[in-house]
Structure 1
Amino acid sequence: MLLLVTAMTVINVVECWEEVPAKSGGGVILVGGKVLCQDCTEGWNEWVNGNKPIEGCTVSVTCMDERKRIIYYGSDKTDKAGEFEVTINKYIHGKMINPEACFTRLVSSPDPVCNIPTNFAGGKTGVKLGCPTTVYRDIIKYIHDPLYYTTPMCDEPDTSDNNDNNSYTKENNY
């Protein structure tokens, strides 16, 4: 009987053990995009087409596990073209990252005028990774639509009675 219990325990442990491929750490997930400044004080054409990239913005990617705990947090600063790219190993501590449980959001802007995050493309509350843009061998790449900051003059004040300012958690039940 003791042998049977021991054998069953070993089988259960082996079934639960997720082996990480040895070659190149199991691959990577790349998350990229662009951060732009949108100025509402301009005319319609300038507002829509006159967005300028912001250098030095911090953009973060957060991934959750099946129990809604953070298992990955990373960030990157934008370059002169306003572009960022975060590289995530597909396996962290022996667990595979589920890209559907990851989201990207704006963290900070060094621009003294254009530093209010907007939700125009989901950058303020967080935008989930959608369909991959590129899948090649051990690389899955996601490119977001541009994320936007605006000027304080364009920021709409929150007039709701709700005191909970954590809109990502409220909207997405995290």
Structure 2
Amino acid sequence: MMKIVWSMVLLIAAITLMNVAECWEDAPANGGGEVIHVGGKVLCQDCTEGWNEWVTGQRPIEGCTVSVTCMDDRKRIIYYGRDQTDKAGEFEVTIKKYIHGKQIKPEACFTRLVSSPDPICNIPTDFAGGKSGVKLGRPTMVYRDTIKHVLGPFYYTTPMCDEPDTNDDDNSYGKQKNY
């Protein structure tokens, strides 16, 4: 009888150890030092200027908020981070590659513009995907435990440059909606 009890205890212990090992098999061997850096630049581009000034006259915006959102395999948010641009208009978000034992997959992350403190240049544009969000593709740099994605530049513009939505899908004066 005692042998059966010991056999059951050892069997339960072995199953428990296998489950614990299975949960941690994706954990990095070096203690979690791997990180993903996402960086870029945010600029203001004013369309009211002449062609030469418009093309070469962009200026960095300090204090813009840029976010990075990463999803898991079930399309749930596993990471959300943001950074504000410095005087040069540059931002950088650092993401740990493993969060709660789950690996962040860069291809499931996207970066987008959130807000601009500039009172004149605060309309997000979709140049380089800043307004709708851009997925992280191939890294710009891979070195040891560091992966870096350099995006953009993203642009804000002035309210005079904002193009109205001319799609007839939504709310048109000529059409009547039935509710």
Taking structure 2 as the reference length, the TM-score comes to 0.82
Separation in 2 of the partners of 1:94 and 1:50? 46
What does 1:69-108 align with in structure 2 at a 5 Å threshold?
Answer: 69-108=76-115
- The root-mean-square deviation of aligned C-alpha atoms, in Å, is 2.2
Partner in structure 2 of residue 134 of structure 1: 141
> Which consecutive residues of structure 1, in runs of 5 or more, have no partner in the other structure?
164-174
The Cα of 1:156 is off from its aligned counterpart by 0.6
Residues 56/27 of structure 1: CA separation in 2 closer, same or farther (3 Å cut)? same
Secondary structure of the corresponding residue to residue 54 of structure 2? helix
Deviation by residue 1:1-33 (Cα, 9 ceiling, x = unmatched): 9x9899678646643543423635241000000
Q: 1:67 aligns with which of 64, 74, 95?
A: 74
The Cα of 1:91 is off from its aligned counterpart by 0.3
Q: How many residues align?
A: 163
> Which consecutive residues of structure 2, in runs of 5 or more, have no partner in the other structure?
1-7, 171-179
**Percent identity of equivalent pairs:** 78
Taking structure 1 as the reference length, the TM-score comes to 0.84
Separation in 2 of the partners of 1:60 and 1:74? 6
Secondary structure of the corresponding residue to residue 121 of structure 1? helix
Specify the structure having the higher radius of gyration (Cα).
2
Secondary structure of the corresponding residue to residue 74 of structure 1? strand
